Copies of this chain bind each other. A is one copy, B any other.
């Protein structure tokens, strides 16, 4: 089983920690390749960055199918271009938030989203803007807490790891005590270490989206499933300039 992980930012800064995490939790026979997009933003912290990254992400995913991979992971918490990629590909493709949110609602009822942020960070595209159904048909989170405000979220994560871990733990505790949350989700794919820290220090389930994405994709491939091509029809050929 050959899986390609597309990290949709123009830096390979996170590839190594993703690889480590995946070596640990993958099935023995799974082979994993991790790549970046060459163009696009160096991090995705707004719906603007997300839109900027989409075209380059789609193209890498299309290449993965041509190269014979069995499945693709779009490795960013905003699941950029997920629906468009599901249309383009005839092999299974998952984001990291979609499978994690679905698993979270099997383990709890009131989800809190926790992660570093700031007034100009807008990464909540997957959750409901209006009403209580978001992008994936799931209930809206019970709360959203940042824990720590850093100037360049995601990018500065390694420099401020300690501050982020403590801030997120504080935020998660408040979400549980004040908001009534019973499950914690860290919406971003770069928070592997803080998520482990939370798992060790909290009594409620904390979802590691990177691992859940991989295990879900392995399940889909093993069961011979794929996204429905009626729900996600392959776009016909036409002139598209790049």
Tell me whether A219 and B220 are in contact in the complex, defined as CB-CB below 8 angstroms, given that A129-B109, A138-B138 are known contacts. Answer: no
A-B contact list, 23 entries, CB within 8 Å: A10-B241, A27-B27, A41-B239, A46-B84, A46-B87, A47-B83, A51-B54, A52-B54, A52-B55, A102-B102, A102-B105, A106-B227, A107-B226, A107-B231, A120-B236, A122-B233, A182-B231, A204-B228, A204-B229, A205-B227, A205-B228, A207-B225, A211-B223
Which residue numbers of A lie inside 8 Å of B, CB to CB? Answer: 10, 25, 27, 38-43, 45-52, 54-55, 58, 81, 83-84, 87-88, 94, 98-99, 102-103, 105-110, 119-120, 122, 128-133, 135-139, 152, 155, 176, 181-183, 199, 203-205, 207-208, 211-212, 215-216, 219-220, 222-236, 238-242
Provide the residues of chain B in CB contact with A129, threshold 8 Å: 109, 135, 137
Provide the residues of chain B in CB contact with A94, threshold 8 Å: 106
Q: Which of A40, A50, A239 has the most CB of B within 10 A?
A: A239
A155 to B236, CA, bound (A): 13
Provide the residues of chain B in CB contact with A27, threshold 8 Å: 27
Determine how close the nearest CB of chain B comes to the CB of A125; give it in whole angstroms: 8
A87 to B86, CA, bound (A): 26
A222 touches B215 (CB 8 A): yes
Tell me whether A215 and B223 are in contact in the complex, defined as CB-CB below 8 angstroms, given that A87-B47, A103-B102 are known contacts. Answer: yes
Provide the residues of chain B in CB contact with A222, threshold 8 Å: 25, 215
The listed residue (B58, B152, B223, B240) touching A25 by CB distance below 8 A is: B223
B139 touches A131 (CB 8 A): yes
**Nearest residue, chain B, Cβ from A151:** B236
